Amino acid sequence: MLLTKILKYTQNDSLKMIKNVVVGISGGVDSAVTAFLLKIKGFNVTGIFMKNWDIRDETGKCVVEKDYNDAQWICKKLEIPLIQVDFVKEYWNEVFSDIVEKYQNGYTPNPDILCNKNIKFDKFFHIARNKFQADAIATGHYARTSFGSYLENYKAKANVCLLQAQDINKDQTFFLSQVPQKTLRRCMFPLGTYLKSHVKMMAIEAGLCQIAWKKESMGICFIGKRQFQHFISEYIADKPGDYVDLDSGLPIGRHNGIHKRTIGQRCKIAGCFKPYYVFSKDQESNTVVVVGGTTHPALYTDFLMTRDIHWINEEPHELRWGNGILNCNFRFQHRNSLITCRVYKMSTDRLFIRLFVSLRAITMGQYAVLYSGEECLGSSVISYIGPSYFALNRQNYR
């Protein structure tokens, strides 16, 4: 069986102080198997359930309650303690409020990256270290570090690199691209060397059948089963405006708020049988400019600018000491393929990124995540989108 192939962990000299590990238990199979692996490796394991949201949806249900019950069942099965920690206030102030503000201003933020940056690998990390005397924390993310799954290669004065998971289809380094170096040096990602199918097999072999096939949460965690447009209207007032066709310049319908639309999204416009997609949003005029067809050249561009740069390890030497040009790989959405790019350093906190292949619907407010081989270098916020192929071609014909 798969579990029999897991070698018993032996602490080396550099790891004599790493005994107590706090695991973020979400109630899902990934965090459950993470806790199980740590226990059979000989660590003193404590589970923490992070309560980040406490508002019920329109059905009267709060998904947090079901997840907490599952987390209790998991920890009872594994015979490890479980502690619930309330981060509702911190999540509201440092994640959700920022999300609402960005949507109001026409941006499209990434809640998962913000949550990891401000809650899981900041607030959770510090309470684990300071209140529960954890030597390290662990999560069920599919990722690896240069220190190893169990910090077996830990070096006190060395920096750690964030590496892609073995299961590329489940790799979550994109969501960890804003995690600070200080935290990452004390993080364990036991699932980074396994395929998702292996993790489910281990859950079954460990007697965790109840959650082995639990449906994974998808999308933004706090929305639940509601449509995003209905959810966001609870926090941002609807403000109707015009849909304007880019090609004709004419209004072709009405929308009920630019905050409900994202770049590249299909719009259902009354009376229009042709599919239209969002090209841009103008906050001042409250108009949404749309184009006909999902492959319209206005949706494609091959360069962008970013701000608020975060390098996980350190700034690449090509930008720091060389000619200011870095050749690497890029993605701005989790499941997108990596695209070769060239990065130019504009200032201490701004980058210019030229893509070797044009991409559809790059959106301000999202993150440009950079990779070199299997290493995730870090990320920065997309602040400007270059001219589209449509705009460039129109200028050429003038």
Point out the catalytic residue in the list 62, 75, 115, 341.
Answer: 115
Give all strands (DSSP E) within the chain, no chain letters: 20-24, 44-51, 82-86, 136-138, 144-145, 162-163, 187-188, 241-245, 251-255, 266-267, 276-282, 287-292, 300-311, 325-331, 339-347, 350-360, 367-372, 375-385
3-state secondary structure 352-372: EEEEEEEEECCCCCCEEEEEE
Per the CB < 8 A criterion, the answer to whether 332 and 346 are in contact is no
Residues 6+ apart with CB under 8 A from 295: 360
Is 115 a known active-site residue? yes
Provide the token pair at 313: 């390890």
Active site residue 75: no
CA distances from 158 to 11, 50, 200, 221, 387 (A): 19, 30, 34, 35, 42
Kindly name the residue from 75, 187, 221, 376 that is annotated as catalytic: 221
Rounded-to-integer distance, Cα 17 and Cα 222, Å: 37
What's the CA gap between 51 and 99, in Å, rounded?
18
Question: Which two tokens mark 12?
Answer: 């080396």
* Token duo for residue 31: 């965090």
Give the residue numbers marked as catalytic. 115, 221
